[in-house]
């Protein structure tokens, strides 16, 4: 069985195209990034975490991020929702060293009760009080049709980011799904037919596809493609 090639992404500092497994090393040695870090303000510096995020069951989807220690888990949750996940306001949770940090979004979620017995806290807590270098932790969006993400703290450093909240260092390029019927670039995925590879179609073939039109969702650069009502974001 052929292994799917690793997905690539561009370093936002130098523009180089790098595979997932080499990106940590690249970011740590990128000359353009070192220049940018060198120009950070010397005032109000704080601890900054370098984070790697990937889809637990499909590491073709990944992000490299930085955030200051004062950033809260709810800010990271918000960022992940906006970038990759939000379809209809499901519940979500981080699990960090056996403690669950949950967010309530107002929408009732049937599965939420399952977790009542575990220790759980809110996401109103800073990264600085829960993370340390090398730590691996977990995130779930939607406890029904769950999108599972793994995260790793790649580094800690002193500095000052230009932006409040989460800064993107790199992200995987779109995966480029092919139409299952004709091999042209796919634009939509049929949620009725199941497996994403077997069920993606170009515009012409989607129009001829036997399932109802409401079952089609757009091909998007997100691990939540084809799940629930996820239609992606306009970037």
The smaller minimum CB distance to Zn ion, of residues 124 and 173, is found at 173
Out of 36, 99, 125, 228, which residue is the one contacting Zn ion (CB under 5 A)? 228
User: Between residues 125 and 233, which has the closer beta carbon with respect to Zn ion?
Assistant: 233
CB of 216 to Zn ion, least distance (A): 8
Q: Please give the residues from 1 up to 20 whose contact with Zn ion meets the rule CB under 5 A.
A: 11, 13-14, 16
72's CB contacts (< 8 A; 6+ apart) are 123, 124, 125, 126, 127
If one counts every other C-beta atom within 10 angstroms of the C-beta of residue 31, the result is 9
Number of amino acids touching Zn ion (CB under 5 A): 18
Smaller CB separation from Zn ion, 151 or 205 = 205
Q: Min. distance of Cβ 27 from Zn ion in angstroms?
A: 7
**Choice between 63 and 96, CB closer to Zn ion:** 63
Judged by CB under 5 A, does residue 181 bind Zn ion? yes
DSSP, residue by residue, 93-159: EEEETTEEEEE--SS--GGGGGGTTS-EEES-SBHHHH--TT-EEEEEE-SSSPEEEEEEEEEEEEE
Closer residue to Zn ion, CB minimum distance, 127 or 191: 191
Q: Does 54 bind Zn ion (CB under 5 A)?
A: no
Nearer to Zn ion (CB atom), residue 80 or residue 130: 80
Letters for 192-211 (x = contact with Zn ion by CB under 5 A, - = none) are xx--------x--x-----x
In the complex with Zn ion, the residue whose CB is nearer, 103 or 202, is 202
Q: Are 200 and 186 in contact (CB under 8 A)?
A: yes
Helix-strand-coil split of the chain, %, nearest 5: 20, 30, 45
Adjacent-strand bridge partners of 150:
54, 138
Q: If binding is defined by CB under 5 A, does position 62 make contact with Zn ion? A: no
45 touches 203 (CB < 8 A): no
Please state, in angstroms and rounded to a whole number, the distance separating the CA atoms of residues 12 and 29: 14
Backbone torsion region of residue 97, taken as left when φ is above 0, otherwise alpha when ψ lies between -120 and 50, otherwise beta: left
Dist. CA 219–CA 176, nearest whole Å: 9
175 CB-near residues (< 8 Å, 6+ apart): 7, 60, 61, 221
Binding of Zn ion at residue 227 (CB under 5 A)? no
Establish if 63 lies at the interface with Zn ion (CB under 5 A).
no
**Sites for Zn ion among residues 18-37 (CB under 5 A):** 30
Closest CB 231 distance from Zn ion, rounded Å:
10
Q: Is 141 in the site for Zn ion (CB under 5 A)?
A: no
Q: Enumerate binding residues for Zn ion (CB under 5 A).
A: 11, 13-14, 16, 30, 87-88, 179, 181-182, 184, 190, 192-193, 202, 205, 211, 228
């Amino acid at each position: 069985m052929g292994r799917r090639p690793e997905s690539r992404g561009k370093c936002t500092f130098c523009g180089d195209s790098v595979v997932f497994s080499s990106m940590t090393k690249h970011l740590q040695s990128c000359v353009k990034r070192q220049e940018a870090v060198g120009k950070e303000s010397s005032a109000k510096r704080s601890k900054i975490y370098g984070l790697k995020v990937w889809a637990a069951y499909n590491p073709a989807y990944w992000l490299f991020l930085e955030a200051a220690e004062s950033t809260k888990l709810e800010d990271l949750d918000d960022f992940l929702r906006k970038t990759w996940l939000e379809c209809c306001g499901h519940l979500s949770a981080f699990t960090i060293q056996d403690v669950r940090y949950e967010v309530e979004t107002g929408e009732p979620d049937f599965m939420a009760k399952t977790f009542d017995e575990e220790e759980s806290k809110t996401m109103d807590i800073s990264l600085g009080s829960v993370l340390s270098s090398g730590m691996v932790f977990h995130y779930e969006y939607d406890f029904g049709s769950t999108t599972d993400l793994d995260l790793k703290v790649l580094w800690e450093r002193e500095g000052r980011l230009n932006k409040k909240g989460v800064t993107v260092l790199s992200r995987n390029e779109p995966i480029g799904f092919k139409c299952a019927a004709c091999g042209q670039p796919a634009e939509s995925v049929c949620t009725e037919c199941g497996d994403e590879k077997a069920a993606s179609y170009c515009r012409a073939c989607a129009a001829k596809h036997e399932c109802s039109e409401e079952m089609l969702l757009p091909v998007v650069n997100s691990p939540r493609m084809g799940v629930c009502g996820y239609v992606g974001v306009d970037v």
